[in-house]
Structure 1
Amino acid sequence: MPGYDPTHRAPRPPRRIPGLGWVLGAASVLAVIGLVMGAMTYFGGDPGAADEQTPSRAEGDPAGERETVGAAASDPEVDPDEPTSWGPTVGELAQAQELVAGWDAERLAGQVIIGRYDGYDPETPAALVRDLHLAGVTMTNSNVEDAEQVTATTSAVADAMTADGRTFPPLIGVDQEGGLVAHLGDVATTYPSFQQAGDVITAAPVEGRRLVTEATRASGLELRQLGFTWVYAPVADVTIGYGDVTIGSRSASTDPDVAADAVVAALEGFSSAGVVTSTKHFPGHGSATEDSHAVVPEVTATLEELRARDLVPFAAAVDAGAPAVMLGHLGVDAIAPGEPASMAPAAYDFLRDELGFEGVTMTDSLGMGAVYGRNRPALTAFLAGADLLLMPADTATAHATITAAIESGEISRERAEESAARVVAIQLWQQRIAAEVAVPLDATTQAEAAAAALVAAAP
């Protein structure tokens, strides 16, 4: 992965490789040369929601107004095959922007939501994607019976996406980190915890990184065989050890450099398999001594301490081209005191402006205790800077809330299109890579062998 320096222990200055702001300005040029011709033929709230307005940043709607331009928007030498700093090509991003420009508020709102659902019936998530125009859904362990039911569900969701007039794949995500967090259970290969990946890298850095990359690539191919397009991994948190009540062995290491190595190796593996990753939980959950599934933990480290520890793997992930970063429900005093990072404009600003991230920002699950019951948490997170809203407690209510906010102007159309375009671009990237990288017939056998090799290498 280009640009990663494993000896570097602090975030690098923001990069300004072609990002969304530049591509949107260049979209008209690309349209003239025919890259996005025909794109316009496509189809052009939460518990406790209240009538009161959810406050947004004092300066107004944040992400839609932030300048992310790195090159002249009028540059006639635009190369549509030029990769962005986070995966999709300039052409794919321009195509996505042209596409979402024809959508109404309901479609834009759906494209920034990843739904949750109950039960095992494949039609339940399919209906959500078809009727609410969702970007996709998450499958949890409470939605999994066996391999046949899982593939029936992912196929139904893909069919629903097509029925809704979208020719790119749905976002079908799963928490499949290995170790304690593996929501597919026996349906997929059992991998050791990410801590073991860190142990292997510590023992033999070069060989360890290779084994982690091979394991995550094999895991990604197996996930694709089951119909998944996203994985909510890798965990970039740096654990503090026994005081860390939530992450623990989900973290690769207490050493930020080892954690960074493991994260970059995992990103390379999953990406090469054609699976979109969600590096988590920014700005770092590993030093929190409370569980965000229940409360908003307070991280009291200074900014200097964060830069030396918690932020190191995230900076490495951004440099390595991470397509998406998940923000945790953490109160980080040095960045956004008094509010969860997932709902704090300052946290999104920090990620984009200091770490230089230009990809998709997403929340942790909006059904977690840290944010459940807040007034319109999905809207608050979106106004703060989230591109994707993960698993609102009530998907239909969240969709209605975001739709109404776009229609009323509380969310500007520019802001809604910007986020929707980022998400569509990632899905176009996934579609392209998946077409280039076939899933082998023995994907499960390869996954089992890669997991066994990782276990065998552990000191």
Structure 2
Amino acid sequence: MRRLGLAAAAVVAAGALAGCASDGPARPTARESASGPPSTSVTPSTTSTPTTTQGPAQDPTQEPTQDLGEPLPWGPTVGELAQAHEIVAAMTAGELAGQVIVGRYAGTDPSVAARLVRRLHLAGVCVTNDNVVDADQVRATTRAVTRAAHHDGRDFPAVIGIDEEGGTVSHLRGIATDFPAFEDAGLAIGQHERRGRQVVQQAAYATAQELRAFGFSWVFAPDADVTIGPADVTIGSRSPSSDPKLAALAVGAAVRGYDDAGLVSTIKHFPGHGSATVDSHRTLPHIDASMRRLEHRDLRPFARGIDAGAPAVMVGHLDVEAMAPGGPSSVEPKIYDYLRDDLGFEGVAITDSLGMGAVAGIPDLGVKALEAGADLLLMPADTTTMHRVVKRAVEDGTLSRDRVEDAAARVVALQLWQASASQDDPLPADPAKVAENAEAASAALREAAYGS
């Protein structure tokens, strides 16, 4: 792979966007304060009406200039996305196939994860509790993966992700701070909206700083599912609320907290797993709600998260009758079309784990997901086989190289953003302070949810 570094961003982007100039800030501040006005309704995107204000005459033959430092709605700047397109255009088919896969690996040896990333040119890996021993071993793993990506010719961070939602879903239990389940976020906001949103945002910020201190660049949280209660056998307390408004506010606050700390967050499991009565880890759930019901309940937290600047959305494995009957949603173009066209999402669409029972036995699963609109394939059952299948599909034209380049460019742009955003929010010099802040944020969330 041709090495393109962070220092070359302005040069590469200027070449991709001829005549562009940057006179704006290199990095935006937080997208929205926690006390900003909520927007929890699902409204399809529409074409904007051109302004009628009289302005200076422009030469119609001159291309409009773009500010390379202008942030896109999902985080990266115009320049970072342009740089990402330059990077992926220079990739071989094997490198390109790897850049749209986040792999799984067995065991606790950091070198195993590192070799997988370098050999298959993977975007990165997902670390689970099966890969974890203690704090030192976790840091050794993230360092090894980071070095592997660098040795593969990359000057942007690897995707080093983890499910760290709080409550029952914590793959760093006993190592990182014990945050409560995300249902406490909805409870806190229900008790006092303004204060609740502040503590939720702070909890996400503290979680993100702690994960960054361990070497992670992504978190597969927050959960945006609206639970239906006891019949919901999978999500439960992972959901912020059974009330769509509270769930939406919690998701928006959490996204801003992660974003402020320079960690990539992922709202999940689109278009909503909270009403599923079977577990997609085992089989394909059928969602029979009407479209009106989905828009009123399930989709509202996703709309709110996207409005707050969510950089990534995880698409679940669901048979959603009103949107794409038959499913699974992770390989259905109509699902991605709704996400992009109706909700206006421009960031990275990542599948739920491709090793789950709901998608078992589907031929060419990764190719189908990419064709449908996915940008990143999460944890295939066999990472090496998935890479080989995607690489072959790109080489023989079964899968459009343009489609895969578009997907990979989003992933790379987000990693360029992560590198820059984390520099803008440096971690405390004393590691103990990171843990202290996380403990305080966890306690504040519990207190806001239940009172003292």
Q: Report the TM-score when normalising by structure 2.
A: 0.87
Name the residue aligned to 1:49.
none
Moved more, 75-84 or 261-270: 75-84
CA offsets, 1:250-292, max 9 Å, x none?
Answer: 0000111100100011001111111001110000000111110
Is 2:442 the partner of 1:451? yes
Aligned residue among 375, 383, 391 for 1:387: 375
Unaligned runs of 5+ in 1: 17-71
Counterparts of 2:279 and 2:441, CA distance in 1: 32
Counterparts of 2:316 and 2:417, CA distance in 1: 25
Unaligned runs of 5+ in 2: 1-30, 49-59
Is 2:224 the partner of 1:239? no
Counterparts of 1:343 and 1:11, CA distance in 2: 24
Query: Are the equivalent residues in 2 in contact too, given 1:329–1:371 (CA < 8 A)?
Result: yes
Is 2:400 the partner of 1:407? no
Name the residue aligned to 1:34.
none
Cα distance change on mapping 1:452 and 1:142 into 2, 3 Å: same
Name the residue aligned to 2:28.
none
After the TM superposition, list the runs of 4 or more consecutive aligned residues in structure 1 that deviate by more than 6 angstroms. none
Aligned residue among 80, 88, 92 for 1:100: 88
Name the residue aligned to 1:80.
68
Counterparts of 2:400 and 2:76, CA distance in 1: 24
CA offsets, 1:183-205, max 9 Å, x none?
Answer: 11111100000001110110010
Counterparts of 1:80 and 1:156, CA distance in 2: 32
Name the residue aligned to 1:6.
38
More relative contact order, 1 or 2 (CA 8 Å, 6+ apart): 1
Aligned residue among 284, 289, 309 for 1:296: 284
Question: Which amino acid in 1 is paired with 2:236?
Answer: G
Cα distance change on mapping 1:244 and 1:394 into 2, 3 Å: same
Is 2:188 the partner of 1:156? no
Deviation at 1:74, TM superposition (A): 7.8
CA offsets, 1:387-417, max 9 Å, x none?
Answer: 0000000000000000000000111111111
Deviation at 1:156, TM superposition (A): 0.2
Aligned residue among 111, 115, 133 for 1:145: 133
Counterparts of 1:379 and 1:92, CA distance in 2: 26
Counterparts of 1:129 and 1:74, CA distance in 2: 44
Aligned residue among 312, 318, 334 for 2:306: 318
Name the residue aligned to 2:297.
309
Name the residue aligned to 2:253.
265
Q: Secondary structure at the match of 1:275?
A: coil
Question: Which amino acid in 1 is paired with 2:106?
Answer: D
CA offsets, 1:319-358, max 9 Å, x none?
Answer: 1111110000000001000011101111011111111111
Aligned residue among 210, 228, 231 for 2:198: 210
Query: Are the equivalent residues in 2 in contact too, given 1:96–1:422 (CA < 8 A)?
Result: yes
Moved more, 74-83 or 124-133: 74-83
Deviation at 1:8, TM superposition (A): 3.8
Deviation at 1:384, TM superposition (A): 1.0
Question: Which amino acid in 2 is paired with 1:159?
Answer: R
Cα distance change on mapping 1:261 and 1:75 into 2, 3 Å: farther
CA offsets, 1:70-128, max 9 Å, x none?
Answer: xx998431110111111100000000001111111000000000000000000011011
Cα distance change on mapping 1:184 and 1:111 into 2, 3 Å: same
Query: Are the equivalent residues in 2 in contact too, given 1:6–1:257 (CA < 8 A)?
Result: no
Matched residue count = 404
Question: Which amino acid in 2 is paired with 1:138?
Answer: C
Q: Secondary structure at the match of 2:313?
A: strand
Name the residue aligned to 1:41.
none
Deviation at 1:6, TM superposition (A): 2.6
